[in-house]
Amino acid sequence: MRKLTIAIDGPAGSGKSSVARVVAQRLGYLYLDSGAMYRALGLKALANNGSELASEYELERLARDTRIELQPVPPHLRDAAIHNRVLLDGEDVTQAIRSREVAQAASRVATIAGVRAFLVAQQQKAGAGGGVVMEGRDIGTVVFPKAELKIFLEATAEARAERRWKEHVEKGEFFELAQVLDEVHERDKRDTERKVSPLVRASDAVLVDNTAMDVEETARLIVLLAREREKELGRPSGGAS
């Protein structure tokens, strides 16, 4: 069966990472979390007092001088909150990039064209050859515009904020839900309104609103769509019937 490139895009908390990870596991595909790359760079900028965050030029230079690797999670570390293992200049930052502060820094770093060009090239290299589920904001529009299956995941901002809030509570971090909702709105706004590669649904992406669906249901739906697509592409004509 021919292996696909599957692109999953959507706003913060729409379930991209958890769903993409399950889909990749079921299909025997590689899972790649592109947002982890922006987060790793955001973390590095914050570690340098955040001064680079104010300068486009400095952020581009920082990106060029940074090595980010995404690795599959070893079986003994598998848990819902861990996506890819992330190495920043050789150091494991898998957990360190999951803070709210880093999320905001990532979305600022991600507005810079030079930074995006650099990270997109790395993402294309990592996913070349297919058999991959990559998730982010611009996977179906910019990174893999020819992906054989594109999904745009959505859920209401309230549902997405509550999901994120629960994750923090489970880690023993207590914040007001209203504060997390504000941050979700802020990131949605920055991601959808930026000039370069804004978060937008590709015209050929399947829209899946999973406000009232759990991770398992959402993943099952996408696996079904993928199996159909694999079959279509495996037919002698090579195309959809």
Q: Find the helix or strand (DSSP H, E) in which 45 lies.
A: helix 35-47
If one asks whether residue 206 binds ligand CDP (CB under 6 A), the answer comes out as no
Kind of pairing between the strands at 68-71 and 85-88: antiparallel
Can residue 137 be called a binding residue for ligand CDP (CB under 6 A)? yes
Sheet with 5-9, side-by-side order of all strands: 30-33, 132-136, 5-9, 149-154, 206-209
Binding of ligand CDP by 34 (CB under 6 A): yes
- Which residue stretch of 23-31, 85-93, 132-140, 200-208 sits at the interface with ligand CDP (rule: CB under 6 A)? 132-140
User: Would you say 5 or 210 has its CB closer to ligand CDP?
Assistant: 210
- Written as one string, the DSSP assignment of 88-128 is ETTEE-TTGGGSHHHHHHHHHHTT-HHHHHHHHHHHHHHHT
35 near ligand CDP, judged by CB under 6 A: yes
Q: Shortest approach of ligand CDP to residue 69 CB, angstroms? A: 16
* The token pair that represents 177 in the structure block: 């839900």
Stretch that binds ligand CDP, among 47-55, 84-92, 163-171, 230-238 (CB under 6 A): 163-171
User: Residue 126 to residues 123, 141, 145, 159: CA-CA distances in angstroms?
Assistant: 5, 17, 15, 32
The answer to whether residue 140 forms part of the interface with ligand CDP (CB under 6 A) is: no
Residues 39-98 that bind ligand CDP (CB under 6 A): 39, 80
Where do contacts with ligand CDP occur on this chain (CB under 6 A)?
10, 12-18, 34-35, 38-39, 80, 103, 106-107, 110, 136-139, 163-164, 167, 187, 191, 210, 213-215, 218
